[in-house]
Amino acid sequence: MVVQNIAFWILAVAMAGAAIGVVRSQNVVHAALYLVVVLAGAAAQYILLAAEFVAWVQVLIYIGAVVILFLFGIMLTRAPMRGDTDLDNDQRWPAAVVSIFLLGVIVTLVVDAFGADEVKINNSLLPVGKTATIGSSIFRNFVLPFEVVSMLLLASLVGAVVIARRD
C-alpha cells in the first residue's frame, strides 16, 4: 500500500507539472510533448488501479494516435514554434480565477462526499480490470452503446474528410 502511494504521488506531481506545461508553454510542440507526459501518467495511474486493458488502450489511442494527430495539426497550421508570438489571449487572469474557483469547489465537494472512502488494491480487484471481463461486459451489457460508438466513429471520419477537403 505504501509503495503504491509513493508511486501515485510521484506520478501525480509529474502529471500536474506537465499539465501546467501544456497550458503555459509558449512553444506549441513543447505543449504537445507535455501532453504526452500527462497521458502516460494517466496510463500509469490506470495500471496502479489494476485497469490494465484501459491503460494500454490509453497508450495506443492517446499517445499513439491523438498526439500524432496534434503534431500533424501543428505542422499543417504552421503554428509558431520559436515562441516569438503570444499563444495566450488577454483573458489569462480571469481564466486563472475561474479555474482556481472551480478547483476549490470541486475539491471541497469531493472531500466532503468521499473523505473516508478507500480504494482497496488487493487480489479481489484483479478480475475487474481483466480484458476478458471488459470484453464480456461490452458485448453483453453495453452492446448498444458499442454499436452507437462505432457509428459515431464512422460519422466523425466522414465529417473530418468533408470538412478538411479542398473544394
Partner 1 sequence: MQLNQFLILAAFLFCTGVYGVLARRNGVLVLMSVELMLNAVNINLIAFSAFGRHVAGEVFALFAITIAAAEVGVGLAIVLLIYRNLHSANLDQIDRLKG
Q: Which of residues 68-107 bind partner 1 (CB under 8 A)?
A: 69-70, 72-74, 76-79, 86-89, 91-92, 94-96, 98-100, 102-103, 106-107
- Residue 163 in contact with partner 1, rule: CB under 8 A: yes
**Integer Cα distance of 147 and 121 in angstroms:** 33
* Cell numbers found for residue 33: 510533448
- Residue 66 in contact with partner 1, rule: CB under 8 A: yes
What is the footprint of partner 1 within residues 26-55 (CB under 8 A)? Answer: 28, 31-32, 35, 38-39, 42, 45-46, 48-51, 53-54
What is the footprint of partner 1 within residues 10-29 (CB under 8 A)? Answer: 12, 15-16, 19-20, 22-23, 28
Pick from 10, 81, 138, 147: which binds partner 1 (CB under 8 A)?
138
Residue partners of 150: CB distance under 8 A and separation at least 6:
none
**Integer Cα distance of 41 and 58 in angstroms:** 10
**Integer Cα distance of 2 and 8 in angstroms:** 10
Residue partners of 48: CB distance under 8 A and separation at least 6:
4, 7, 8, 11, 121
Smallest separation, CB 151 to partner 1 (Å): 11
Pick from 10, 81, 83, 142: which binds partner 1 (CB under 8 A)?
142
